[in-house]
Each structure stands twice: as C-alpha cells, then as structure tokens.
Amino acid sequence: MRKLPHRILLTDSVRIEDPRDAVRALPARSGVILRHYNVSDRAGLARELLAICRTKKIPLLVAGDPSLARAIGADGLHLPEDMLTHGLGHWRRWLIPGAFLCVAAHSPKALRKAALASASFALLSPVFQTESHPGSKTIGIHRFANWTSNAQLPVYALGGVTHQREGRILSTGAAGWAAVGALSNINKDHD
C-alpha cells in the first residue's frame, strides 16, 4: 500500500473554478480529490490534473465516478457516504490494483461501515464551521478526536480546517487533513 498523503486538496468548481494552479502549488505528501462534478470536460480536466499530480508524485482520486477513475488510471476513488450502499468490493473492481478508496463520513456509524468495507481512509466532516456548508452542525475537535481514536481506519479532518488548526488536528491521531480553501491558495487560510 502506498503512503497516505498528509493533506488533501478537494477541488470545488464553485470555489476553485480552475484547480490547476492550486494543484501545482501543493507541497510534497499532498493528495487531490477531483470534485468538479458539473464541468463540461471533466475527463479532460481529470487527465490534466493527473499529469500534474504524477509530476509531483502525489495521488489524484476522482470523486463519485468510478468509470472516469478507471479510464484515466487515477490513483483512487472518493465516494460520498451515500455511495457506500453497494459496498466497497463493488467499487474496487473499477480501480487499478493498489488504488486508494476513500469515503466521506459524518458519524461513527459511517466510519465503522467504511472500515468494514476495507476503505483506505475516510474524510470525517464537518469538524469546524466551513464556508462550503455555513450553519451546518459541526463535530468539534473533541468528538472528532474520540471518533478518530475509535475508528478502524485512517481518518482525515475536513471542514473549516486551516493551517493554524493543523497541529490540533494531528494531535487527535488523525492521518491528516483535507480542505478546499486552505489548500487552494497558500495566502488564503480558510476552508
């Protein structure tokens, strides 16, 4: 199994119209999850991002589209929590051997389900208030730490995570953190 990244950039077509420069600016031991769902040439964008990621030696996961992940030879697939209903065995057959399989989780139950299905890791959210989902109920750092310590797979924090909060996140035993804003522009420090 390949090493997991320390931080993961999630692309967002509303907040990061063109993610190419953000991916180029990522530091070593990063990863990328392509979430640009409704763009006219998602496959073309995915191929371009994969080329950038390969040059940087960082993984690219495609969100919610196993056929695209397979077609471009992506390093993995990211599944929204509701796509776990099929079980990960169903999704793994779409991937290259050794690919990452990541799932979104919002509760301890979802973390258990992901672990039982042999996911590579999970993104647990929202930990803090976030620009992507303003007003959403947050997990908070203490519950995040508790849920992460009881999880049977590596867990990443997502939602309102910033560079300033990295130390707090990592002290919980998290595998790392994921963000949109905090990793899309190094000078901006918000999710």
CA–CA separation, 104 vs 80, rounded Å? 5
Using DSSP, state whether 160 is helix, strand or coil: coil
What's the pTM value of the predicted model, to 2 decimals? 0.91
CATH number at residue 158: 3.20.20.70
Does a structural domain hold residue 189? no
Q: Residue 29 carries which DSSP code?
A: T
pLDDT of res. 107: 96
Q: Alpha helix locations (H) across 73-140?
A: 88-92, 108-116
Phi, psi of 176 (to 5 degrees): 170, -160
d(CA 84, CA 135): 26
Residue 16 pLDDT class (50, 70, 90 cuts):
confident
In a domain, 1, yes or no: no
Residue 114 lies in a domain: yes
The answer as to whether 36 is a domain residue is yes
Q: With left for phi above 0 and alpha for psi between -120 and 50, is residue 79 left, alpha or beta?
A: beta
Provide the 8-state DSSP code for 163. G
Q: What is the tens place of the pLDDT at every residue in 98-152?
A: 899 999 999 999 999 889 888 899 999 999 988 777 778 999 999 999 999 999 9
Domain for residue 72, yes or no? yes
Which range of residues forms the domain containing residue 117? 7-184
Query: How many structural domains are present in the chain?
Result: 1
Lowest mean pLDDT among 15-24, 72-81, 82-91, 134-143: 82-91
Q: Is residue 191 part of a domain?
A: no
Q: 190 in a domain, yes or no?
A: no
22-31, 74-83, 145-154: lowest mean pLDDT where? 74-83
Share of the chain above pLDDT 90, in %: 68
In a domain, 138, yes or no: yes
Nearest one of 62, 3, 61 to 28, comparing CA atoms = 3
Instruction: Identify the CA nearest to 139 among candidates 131, 150, 128.
Output: 128
CB 113 within 8 A of CB 88: no
31 with 78: CB under 8 angstroms?
no
